[in-house]
Chain A
Amino acid sequence: MSANSLDRAAHFECADDVEAINRLYRERRWSDGLPIIPPTAERVARMLAAVRIPPQTVIARVAPGFGAATVERIAINAVMAGCEPAYLPVLIAATAAMAESSFNLQAIQATTNPVAVWLIVNGPIAQQLEINAGFNCIGQGAWANATLGRALHLILQNIGGALPGEMDRATHGQPAKYTFCCAENEVNHPWQPLHVERGFSATESTVTVVGAEGTLNMNTHAKSASELLRVIAQTMIHPTSNEYVHGGEPWFIVGTEHAEILKQAGMDKAQVKQALWEQSKMPVRDLSVHEIERARASRTVELGPLSPDTLLPIATTPDDIQLIVAGGAGTHSVYVPCFGNSRAVTRRIET
């Protein structure tokens, strides 16, 4: 069989009955457990018409099975998730981003850790596609957020071959493995938005993929920057964290009210990162004996010999701490602890 025939999606005839089709996709483990939109030839063609890339173009090989993520297969999974055709360029860029070696997708897909892939969309496309960056931005209610995140996880399962309990060894998983996507609030923002910080222009559209272990809400009515950062830093400290063991990349969704407090205090992003990094150090002795052994294997080169009194930083450098601004009004921010041995990747969305 030629490479081209391998890269062409298989197709078949089926009775035109949405319930029967859903039963079939469920039996073949092609769904995530929720009903799907049947990927008919017509729907997939409409999806593909949103881009000018030939359908058999391989965007990436998706670990752990290293299936070929062609534009056509990405489109098929996008249809199943309920995406609009205009969303396809986001998924193409995200699939390419996940394949970067620094993202470590092989580990993310096969680990017992609950890690899910979080999509953050920046730039003009976020508003064009109505990707929610405001109230409930990582919750339910916005079609683009819900279906984009869902499509990405279908790609990971169907093209990457990471079936739960088989190659996806997640002990529990997490709800974000159904969907996890938001935009950044670039209007009420005291600093440069994420994509500009990462070297793109404000008028470019980007997607960032993050290996997210979960979300932890941080509700604090603190009104001074120093108090706000102190309680956030204390929230970061937990001895069961992969990030302290390996030196990670913790993320924060800073709520707009908390962002305003930091802005009023005249703090830039670097100062916020530095304060969180300093104040979230944890003594080695707080880890379990086995985690100390893992931390020694992973961080001795970086930190030297680890004694019980050694203060472990959550990340190798303050700049590894990542901040975006999003959410509606309220005294909340969200801590997104991450996988540890993974670095987020940002890609430009080509439209």
Chain B
Amino acid sequence: MSVHETKVHEEHHELSFIQKYIFSQDHKIIGIQFLFSGLIFLVLGGVLALLVRLQLGWPHADQGWLGQILDWSPAAGQRMSPEQYNTFFTMHATVMIFFVIIPLLTGAFGNFTIPLMIGAPDMAFPKLNMMSYWFMWPGFIIMLLSFSLGVAPGGAAGAGWTSYPTLASIGMPVGGGAESPAAPNSGWGQILWLLSLIFVGVSSMMGSVNYITTIINMRAPGMTLFRMPLTVWGMFITAILQAFALPVLTVALVLQTLDKTISTTFFLPPGVLEFGNWTTNPGGGQPILWQHLFWFYSHPAVYIMILPAMGIVSDVISTFSRKPLFGYRPMVYAICGIAGLGFIVWGHHMFQSGMDPRLGTGFMIATIMIALPSAVKTFNWLGTTWRGNLHLTTAMLNALGFVALFVIGGLSGLFMAATPVDVFIHDTYFIVAHIHYVLFMSSLFGIFAGIYYWFPKMFGRLMNETAGKVHFFLTFIFGNMTFYPMHLVGAAGLRRRIFDPTMTGFESNVQFLNQFMSVSAFLLGAAQLIFAVNFFYSLFWGKEAGRNPWRSNTLEWTTPSPPPHGNFEVTPVVYHGPYEYSVPGMEDDHVMQTRKLEGVPVGAGH
């Protein structure tokens, strides 16, 4: 472990550009690298989503100029092919989950905030940290490469981000090549998809080990566990989740890769499967095994994608309510509760999968109970804003947006958790609505809140508040217009992942809503341009921020913006919890964690 000396390192100027900004070992630069790559992939994922929406709104329509750009040849009717559609939604989900939400939340904010918020000069393992970022890149590149695959329509993986066997896993018999008889895009595209995710998994693993070690070992003097800001708690628990769940996914990915390349049969059932003239070798495995392994990681992954956002939002809400966080300890316990229960609910993705229905009952009860800590968190956020003194900055608006919409996402989860209701709404747009309310409308609002909140600390400049508010306003409206109707079409039974939603009676009933959602989605996409412009404009020409523009309490605001190499001029000493706002009897409405208070009562966070 190489703990840097904690003073301003003028002598570090001799670091070359590459060492400083590319292969940097500085957690702040790595965080910012994660931020940029996450945002770039957000654009890709967004474009893919719009293509999906285009198809759903107007299936079989002649796409004219767009078709020419995307090489939808006249011979294919100048429209998307079903294979391409499958690729688009598969890659949309994969990119958004593995390349956007997880890297942004844990990679960008985790890296940037953890050492700063606990008063450490850097991560425990800076080199590992650098590797964690650079292990993402093979993943990025392989995933992008798969888009350019050969003659296959689509080329890139198209078996859904869940990649269920046997559709995804099946290859030709031994020596028969890597292409799949099941679908054009589960050949090489799928193999690249698997390889890419293995890299991403390794990267996340390195990150989580680093976070855990840093948080346990490198807290500043006085920074007890229960004086840590909730962002750090969120990251801590997330890292633990990742450390325990990721190996399972990695193993599953490796097994499927073996199935596809050297024709092992981990996920292939006994008996020959037939695809017209093509047949496979009889296997000795089970397709459902993959689902267990996959969801054993991917359900906790849902919490990996929300817990850090919850932490960020807690910090932002407390700061801008100028009020101590309501129920700090219950909040921490709730995070732990979510994480703990999160490990035993994976089966709720599999209620209809053909596993023993008795298991379903068990998973159902666990799943229903996981709503409890989420509810506690929501009530505590409401408690924090109650009789606060709210400052509606853009960051605060986004955090409030998170709370408002997380309620929807959380409550709609109850429908799916209920096994009998799930029989009907499983694999319909209801689940799509749910996942987008949790991951887009909640996590992404959390990310936006985090960006607006820490942008000044990252780059020393403030983002434009007016543009930020317009961006929030439009995103909030169009986001709801895009995702809310999904509940209704889901209740009507509209299946997810279908190329043409007008083929059946119950689905064509809601085609108007499909078009409405598509138009809203385009507008939602357009609204993000405001954010992009604001982001880059503020990067260069934003208002100088100063150390603590938000008059916040936590340690990162005690250093200059951006913080120097090594973070703190002197090792900070912490005297109390992070949320001491509006302490009675004090002139100022905030008390930095480093400020020792004499004779003033300081509440729970000690």
Physical interaction between A and B: no
Chain A residues in contact with chain B, CB under 8 A?
Answer: none
Chain B residues in contact with chain A, CB under 8 A?
Answer: none
